[in-house]
Structure 1
Amino acid sequence: MSQFKLSARKSLWVGALAVLLLVIVSGCSGSNNDPAPNATAQPGTSQGTDENSKTDETATGGTFVYGRPASVTSFDLHNQITSNNAFAIDKVFEPLVAFDNKGEIVDWLAKSHNISDDGLTYTFVLRDGLKFSNGTDVTAEDAVFSLERHLKVGGPLAISAKVDTVKATDSHTLVITLKEPYTPFISELSNFSNGIVPNNFGGVTEEEFFKKPIGTGPFVVEQWDPAGDVTFTKNTHYWQEGKQSVDKLVYKLIEDDSQAINQLKAGEVDAIESLALQNADEIKNGADTTVVTNGSWVTEQLFFNTLDKHFSDVHVRRALALALDRDGLTKALTFGYAQTANSLLPTTIPYNSNDTLKALNFDVNAAKAELAKSAFLDGFTTKLLVASGNSTRAQEAQIIQAAGKQIGINIEIESIELATFRERFFAYDFAAMLNSGQADSPEANSIIAFQTDPDGFSKSYWTHYTNDEVTKLLYKGQQTPDGDGRAEIYSKLLQTLADEVPYIPLYYPDILIGVRSSVDGIVVLPNGSVRFEDVRIQK
């Protein structure tokens, strides 16, 4: 099952396309991530721990095999967004700042950064001794080239800030000036798409470079089959001394969920990505397996095409929201591994307002009264678009279908294969659909912009939802400094979305990774990626 990430703002795809089909699963686990690095500690020094593991009995070296449901098709960080590629790109390229497993922004390739009081000037000082994987020094000119190439290409995770200049004032100092304040900028710079590549691609063509990429990350591409596996070797010039406990990291393609489970149990792989919800307890309680989890930046949602004759009516959307028991749906389908959603924003993202927002909670009588205010008081027949191959989504669709039936809305479930599903909603060829939104950085704007900007890449996540007041609040939130003022802006915006429901937030799943009990030190990030720098396997 291929996964997509959601992306943020005007020219993105997200989760971007963000998105798209991220069926990230949730889970409670016997293994959690330790506190991640902060601004004063060396990044990457934290590691997840398993309740059964014993760090003093683990070994360095060897090969770590990670089962993944989709192959890596490109390492071009500026032209990619889907998680199959993103979570390989971030092993090779690194940004100036990054986010830790708690979603906090920390200095990464930059040893420090400063933002001017007016929010227009960003100054980054690179760490001493930084080298690319080929042994050449990393300079501020490399950062200039990388960011300017991203600005030129745009791509699905384009830099949304209005950048005036990007300059190197010396070999270690980079200064970025903006034309106007853009508060999400520092957070968006932590995206994998803002990784640093060598100036002028090290003298080779773009095509040559991305076939054998050179970066500052902990791993280097050794072998790569775009239709199969990727083998990484450790970067011997990595700037974090003592990292890369394993010699090799293999991304093994396992497209079938059952096969992935079987290979994990048999020890043929050390961990698997995208563990299905229904397998969570089985793996958690297995003799030789467990799970590692983290809170995610994902919101599972029911989306409405507001160009559709039925769902253009706000009373219809409100009626279905009132008819749907979100608490019941969440409990039934997530096995206690997710939280019911009231707000568009996951609780792991600042300004989510999930606990204060007045959502349209389950009330069948109120739902019937709301539908009576619509142009379809006698009900109607519509279709719900769902990608096949996902049992959780299939069950979600059935619960939504039953909710509609009790107020006179006959919902026909249209389950189609993934590629066609994407084509359909990209073309607005749907009435309603099930999908998820995911932030790419720990920023409210990362989801809000993608799902509310009618002029953006996705036209409010293909819902075509347009509300002038919401649009004004969106841009105001982007230019307002963090604090109470920004919180008030997003509170108003999110309440409007809850009232007009262009999409119904269903639940916030955690990220769930299946691992062998012998594994120690795996760190799961809230965007679904994993850091392997500290991974060790018990002897």
Structure 2
Amino acid sequence: MDKLHELELDARLGRLDRRSFLKAASALGVTTALSLPTANRVFAQTSKKGGHFRLGTYGGSPTDTYDPGTYTGSLRNVTFAVCNYLMEIDSRGEAVPELAESIETVDGGLRFIIKLRKGIEFHNGKAFGPEDVIASYNHHRGKGSTSAVKGLMAQIAEIKADGPSTVVLTLSAPNAGFPPILSDYHLPIFAADGDRIDTSKMIGTGGYIISSFDPGVRATLKRNPNYWREGHGNFDSAEVLWMEDVVARTNALVSGEVDAIEAPDRSTVHLLAKRKGIKILEVTGTEYYSMLMFTDVEPFTDNNVRLALKHAVDREAIVKSVLNGYGKVGNDNPITPAYRYYNDQLAQRVYDPDKAKFLLKQAGHHSLNVELSTSDAAFTGAVDAAVLFKEQAAPAGINVSIKREPNDGYWTNVWQKKPFVMGYMGGRATADWMFSTSFASDASWNDTHWKDERFDFLLKQARSELDDAKRKEIYFEMQQIVHDKSGTIIHSLPSIVDAVTDRVQHRSLASNWPLDGNRCIDRWWFA
């Protein structure tokens, strides 16, 4: 990264004000005429303090806890407001330092020397230091861990302090792409309590302090007066309301009960956009919508059955009818066009009932009866997508029985519990991260129970391959294997669509998660 790019990044992340940016750029010999466009882009919108921000979201459950290892996504908006991470994903999709000042890769991706920011305090007054990083990460490691990211963190062979502001992280095998993983929402830095973290409360270094928490219902936050990030933590207070019903969320926005909502109904979002005082936010994301089959449960143990189901879905119809055009067709590949190593050579799988029939016969079936569990908690429009799939699959001799599950508890009682379900997966910053999250044999979120020895071998090989061209070849092959063999039907790639009142202000939006990477409470402000 050249020095001017570093300055721009520091400015965009609030580490430099406009005057400091221009002064430093001038010292590099950059003329005012050349530097001003960059500065204007960085500082075009200046944040301001004040107000009570109310957010309507979904996915909450009465069983939600502060334990970061158990997060299913419902607490992302809260955690990103209350805590910081060593790394964060910016609006360009790049992993950049947050609590880390810098991360140096040594020994070909086997070790990482992490310099920590100084002068930062937790909400309880404790000074931030290496022991907090170590305790936070060790929570996800070891035999007793039940963390959703235990598989990811199992890569760490050793983590230790090297002085008062340095952490040395050593992997069991090289993985040059490891640092972006440290931005995962399961990995907030909590205040150390001895050599552990206290998961009965959330003590972070972020812009907000939790005032109250009613799991699956409401969380209230107040501004941290000692927050270290300039231009962040702008609201006086904030409130997160879990509203599983999309109509309820939309009505709350229209009536002024909330200032922003996640995932409005795409079938009516064009009408919402016409309402005075409401803005629609849309960005191209890395998430996907899916149908998930347990590959160790009949009839899904036979790959011909899995392929038949993949050919029995009309992806274009789902994008048009369910996403209302806000997205692209999926191709049973979790690595979307937004990723660096996207395999653009995969043949697009299309709706073909005759081929689905043929594949069923190859598996010894003249017809097939399956039960598909669905709920709009899986994604907005999941019930409609299931109804469409039932109609689309019928000509292939596939009889789909739809079981509509309760919105409440869908992610704890249905997902990873029942053999054929509607699903959703948010994007990750790298191909390795995505594959390690849901497709590796030992992944905690292997939500189809799929295992492939060749795939697992390639996953490890790619981590230690420093030649970019060779790494690309490996990832291309991995995508082909998933496309051909996995139990995941990725039928659509949705755009991220949120809705806010027009008094909500923001800079360029991140696209790794909804609501500005789920950092809206930390990053946004009122006009």
Shorter-chain TM range is: 0.7 to 0.9
Q: Aligned match of 2:374 in 379, 386, 389? A: 386
The Cα of 1:173 is off from its aligned counterpart by 1.4
Paired residue secondary structure (2:434): helix
Q: What is the CA-CA distance between 1:482 and the residue it aligns to? A: 7.0
Superimposed CA distance per residue, residues 355-409 of structure 1 (whole angstroms, 9 cap, x where no aligned partner): 3212332334433433343311x22323222236777222222222222221222
Q: Quick check: 1:178 aligned with 2:171?
A: yes
Q: Which residue of the other structure, out of 238, 242, 262, is the alignment partner of 1:249?
A: 238
Give the C-alpha shift of residue 154 in structure 1. 5.1
1:12 paired residue number? none
Can you give the 5+ residue segments of structure 2 that lack an aligned partner in the other structure? Answer: 17-43
Q: Within 2, Cα distance between the matches of 1:286 and 1:482?
A: 52
Aligned to 1:22: none
Alpha-carbon distance in 2 for matches of 1:103, 1:525: 7
Aligned counterpart for 1:320 among listed residues 280, 298, 309: 309
382, 389, 400: which one pairs with 1:411? 400
Residue among 147, 166, 180 paired with 1:155: 147
| Alpha-carbon distance in structure 1 between the residues aligned to 2:435 and 2:154 | 15
Q: How does the TM-score come out when normalised to structure 1?
A: 0.81
Give the structure 1 partner of residue 208 of structure 2: 219
Matched, 1:82 2:52: no
| Pairing partner for 1:259 from 248, 252, 265 | 248
CA-CA distance at 1:421 after TM superposition: 7.8
TM superposition score normalised by structure 2: 0.83
Structure 1 gap ranges (5+) = 1-34, 47-53
Shift in CA distance, 309/165, structure 1 to aligned 2, threshold 3 Å: closer
Partner of 2:13: 43
**CA RMSD in angstroms, aligned pairs only:** 3.1
Pairing partner for 2:182 from 185, 189, 194: 189
Residues 1:306 and 2:276 are matched in the alignment: no
Q: Distance in 1 between matches of 2:253 and 2:311?
A: 42
Q: In structure 2, what residue type is equivalent to 1:434?
A: M
**Cα distance in 2, alignment partners of residues 261 and 327 from structure 1:** 26
String of CA shifts for 1:488-516, please: whole Å, max 9, x gaps.
11211111222235222111112222100
Query: For each residue in 1:426-460, what CA deviation from the matched residue of structure 2 results, as whole angstroms up to 9, or x when unmatched?
Result: 34x43x32212234x302123323433334335x4
Counterpart secondary structure, 2:227: coil
What amino acid is the match of 1:122? F
Q: Secondary structure at the match of 1:449?
A: helix
Are the structure 2 counterparts of residues 92 and 77 from structure 1 closer, same or farther at C-alpha, using a change threshold of 3 Å?
farther
* Kept in 1: contact 2:90–2:510 (CA 8 A): no
Please point out which of 457, 479, 489 is paired with 2:444.
Answer: 457
- Equivalent position of 1:470 in the other structure: 455
Distance (Å, rounded) in 1 between the aligned partners of 2:314 and 2:218: 42
Q: What amino acid is the match of 1:114?
A: E
Is 1:237 the counterpart of 2:226? The answer is yes
Of 198, 206, 220 in structure 2, the residue corresponding to residue 206 of structure 1 is 198
Paired residues for 1:500-539 under 5 Å: 500-521=485-506, 523-528=509-514, 529-538=518-527
Structure 1 369/225 Cα, relative in aligned 2: closer, same or farther at 3 Å? closer
- Paired with 1:340 and 1:196, the residues of 2 have a C-alpha distance of 37
C-alpha distance in structure 1 between counterparts of 2:380 and 2:121, whole Å: 46
Q: How does 1:349-428 map to 2 (within 5 A)?
A: 349-353=339-343, 355-376=344-365, 378-387=366-375, 392-418=381-407, 419=409, 422-423=412-413, 426-427=416-417
Offset of residue 466 of structure 1: 2.8
**Matched letter for residue 383 of structure 1:** E
Q: Distance in 2 between matches of 1:515 and 1:358?
A: 38
Q: CA deviation at 1:257?
A: 2.6
Secondary structure, aligned partner of 1:334: coil
Over 3 Å counting, the alpha-carbon distance change for 1:72 and 1:115 in structure 2 is farther
Paired with 2:239 and 2:183, the residues of 1 have a C-alpha distance of: 25
Counterpart Cα distance in 2 of 1:510 and 1:201: 43
Q: 1:311 to 1:128 in 2, by over 3 A?
A: closer
Supply the AA of the counterpart residue of 2:488: Y
SS in structure 2 of the partner of residue 383 of structure 1: strand
Q: Tell me the secondary structure at the aligned position of residue 406 of structure 1.
A: helix
User: Structure 2 vs 1, CA of residues 192 and 414 (structure 1 numbering), >3 Å: closer, same or farther?
Assistant: closer
Instruction: Give per-residue Cα distances to partners, 1:227-271, cap 9 Å, x unaligned.
Output: 532221222221112432221112234444323222212222211
8 Å Cα contact 1:323-1:362 kept in structure 2: yes
What is the DSSP-based 3-state SS (H/G/I as helix, E as strand, rest coil) of the residue aligned with 2:481?
A: helix
Q: Which residue of 2 aligns with 1:24?
A: none
Over 3 Å counting, the alpha-carbon distance change for 1:94 and 1:286 in structure 2 is same
Q: Which deviations, in whole Å up to 9, do the C-alpha atoms of 1:165-186 show, x marking residues without a partner?
A: 2222221211112222134421
Kindly indicate whether the alpha-carbon contact (under 8 Å) linking 1:161 and 1:185 is maintained by their aligned counterparts in 2: no
Distance in 1 separating the partners of 2:491 and 2:353: 17
- Indicate whether 1:112 and 2:92 are aligned: no
* Percent of aligned pairs sharing the same letter: 23
Letter in structure 1 aligned against 2:350: N
Q: Which residue of 2 aligns with 1:6?
A: none
Q: Label 1:148 to 1:379 Cα distance change in 2 as closer, same or farther (>3 A).
A: closer
Q: Distance in 1 between matches of 2:49 and 2:412?
A: 43
* Higher relative contact order structure (alpha carbons within 8 Å, sequence separation ≥ 6): 1
Task: Show the 5 A alignment for 1:484-499.
Answer: 484-499=469-484
> CA–CA distance in 1 between the matches of 2:479 and 2:443?
18
- Matches of 1:297 and 1:423, distance apart in 2: 26
Q: Which of residues 158, 168, 180 is equivalent to 1:165?
A: 158
Once residues 426 and 202 of structure 1 are traced to their aligned partners in structure 2, the CA distance between those partners, rounded to angstroms, is: 32
Please give the residue correspondences for 1:278-293 in structure 2 after superposition, counting only pairs within 5 Å: 278-293=267-282
Residue identity in the other structure for 1:449: S
Alignment of 1:6-25 (within 5 A): none
**2:68 partner SS:** coil
Q: Distance in 2 between matches of 1:45 and 1:341?
A: 39
Counterpart of 2:162 in 1: which secondary structure?
A: strand
Counterpart of 1:339 in structure 2 is 328
